[in-house]
Amino acid sequence: MTYQILFLDIDGTILKPDHTYTDLTKEAISQVKEQGIEVFLSTGRPLHEIGELAEELGIESFIGYNGAYAVYQNEIILDEPMKEETINEFLTIANENDHELVLYTSEKNYFTTMEKPLVKTFLHTFQVMNNATINTDVTNQILGVTIMNLGSSQTSLYEFEDGIHLSPVTVAGIENTYDVIRKTVNKGEAVNHVLQRLDIPKEAAIAFGDGMNDKEMLQTVGEGFAMGNAHPELFKYANQRTTTVTESGIYYGLKKLGLVK
């Protein structure tokens, strides 16, 4: 098989819990790029927060906000904000149940509050910088949402629309936190959009991920790798398994396919 494109999750896939990556991870990305393979970062993160990492790795194409926004070599090829009425309902539910929200636009991260300890932990863990408190001027621009301080029995509060479900954030130090995933707007749908745009068959695509927000992506490509540190439920959606992020899982997965030395 001649592989043409590689999609990489960031947290828990490229980045270790200490926010660094291994030398072998960077080397693997460099080697596949030298072979002409397109590399996309595919993340739940806002794209305005990953510029430094992208520059270090030499990557210029991205899927962000869990599939709501995609850029191919400086061209926006996907832009799918959430419905404003859905966002307003989320804000009401959060206020009534002592939950905290992070709402992402293409320019900033908007928090319902930035003072609570769990929010400060989130800020430290993900090292997000372009932050503000939510206001009604941007509720029609929200590309993605993360919900904090949410008990597992409360996820249904936000799943009031068909096509919306909550996916647990599987990052060390972050608990009771969920990403909002849309059935028609997720990493898998974004990957499919990219493949169609670039006329690349599914069989020529590879993806690596560790969280449940990666399940659609791993099913959309020919070779879907679950990291060794992945959420236990993710493995059934992957047709490949590799080592953990601290053990350079991207490198050893690509080596299994004969793409790196």
Residues contacting residue 145 through CB under 8 Å, at least 6 positions apart = 82, 87, 90, 101, 102, 103, 104, 179, 180
Of 120, 149, 107, 211, residue with least CA distance to 158: 149
CATH architecture of 5-79+185-256: 3-Layer(aba) Sandwich (3.40)
The radius of gyration computed from the CA coordinates of the chain, to the nearest angstrom, equals: 17
Supply the pLDDT for residue 170.
78
Given this model, what pLDDT does residue 148 score? 93
pLDDT at 50: 93
pLDDT band at 175 (very low <50, low <70, confident <90, very high): confident
The predicted pLDDT at position 222 comes to 97
The model's pTM: 0.86
Report residue 216 CA to chain centroid gap. 11
Q: What is the pLDDT of residues 80-106, one digit of tens each?
A: 999 999 999 999 999 999 999 999 999
Q: What is the largest CA-CA distance in the chain?
A: 55
Q: pLDDT digits over 220-244, tens only?
A: 999 999 999 999 999 999 999 999 9
CA 122 – CA 145 distance, rounded (Å): 13
Domain 84-182, classified CATH 3.40.50.261, yes or no: no
pLDDT at 129: 87
Residue 62 CA to residue 120 CA, distance in Å, equals: 27
- In the block, tokens 């949410």 appear at 150
Q: Rounded CA gap, 209 and 225, in Å?
A: 7
- DSSP H/E element including 4: none
84-182 has the same fold as 5-79+185-256: no
Token pair in block for residue 211 = 């969280």
CA dist., res. 141 & res. 148, Å (int): 20
Q: Using CA atoms, how far apart are residues 184 and 188, in angstroms rounded to an integer? A: 9
Structure tokens at 248: 């350079």
- Condensed to tens digits (0 to 9), the pLDDT of residues 3-26 reads 999 999 999 999 999 989 999 999
Flag whether pLDDT at 68 surpasses 90.
yes
In the structure, what pLDDT confidence band is assigned to residue 172 with cuts at 50, 70 and 90?
Answer: confident
- 185-214 pLDDT, tens per residue? 999 999 999 999 999 999 999 999 999 999
Kindly list the domain boundaries of the chain, sorted by start residue.
5-79+185-256, 84-182
* pLDDT of 126 above 90: no
